[in-house]
Amino acid sequence: MGLLEHESQYWPVALTVAHGEATLEQHMCSLASWDNWFCKGEPFHVIRVYLDEASLRHPEGAAQATQRWMAAGAAEKMRELVQSMLIVVPPNQYERMKKMSVRKAFGIPGGLFASLEEAYAWLDNPSEPVSGIPVDKKALEAIQCSVNEIANS
């Protein structure tokens, strides 16, 4: 069983960190975390960090559950509330995934990155307009520390 953490302590930045292959139960808890973020009714940014190749694999049934969740209103909430989504993948997986588009998949600004540093650089100079609330630099430093702790545990 993998690790799938969801943090909102850096609000208005929501953080997910994945290590190892998640179970369907963990995936469903992930969707519930998103619902909790949506319930705040406030704009926010999302940083999703995948620490290894296994964390990029979805458990059986996850795609169907996510499609139902998106169709039940999550897609609309995402476009309404999420200011940007930054997805960090392991450097050895970046080449294979770099053409994926956050805009095409979710309808919001963002991108795929090989490191948190690259994601943060994008936030400083986004390739597309990002409206709403700025991201606090101290929060980004704390997120880096948190991800490092999880990666080293």
pLDDT in tens, 60-85: 999 999 999 999 999 999 999 999 99
Q: State the chain's mean pLDDT as an integer.
A: 91
Token reading at 103: 């805009």
Question: What is the per-residue pLDDT for 140?
Answer: 85
- Does the pTM surpass 0.85? The reply is yes
Is it the case that residue 31 has pLDDT exceeding 90? Answer: yes
> Domain residues of the chain, as ranges?
3-151
Question: What is the per-residue pLDDT for 26?
Answer: 95
Question: Please, are residues 119 and 111 in contact by the beta-carbon 8 Å criterion?
Answer: yes
Ranges assigned E (strand) in 1-149 = 3-10, 13-19, 44-50, 82-88, 110-113
Report the C-alpha gap between 87 and 102 in whole angstroms.
Answer: 8
Token reading at 56: 């990029």
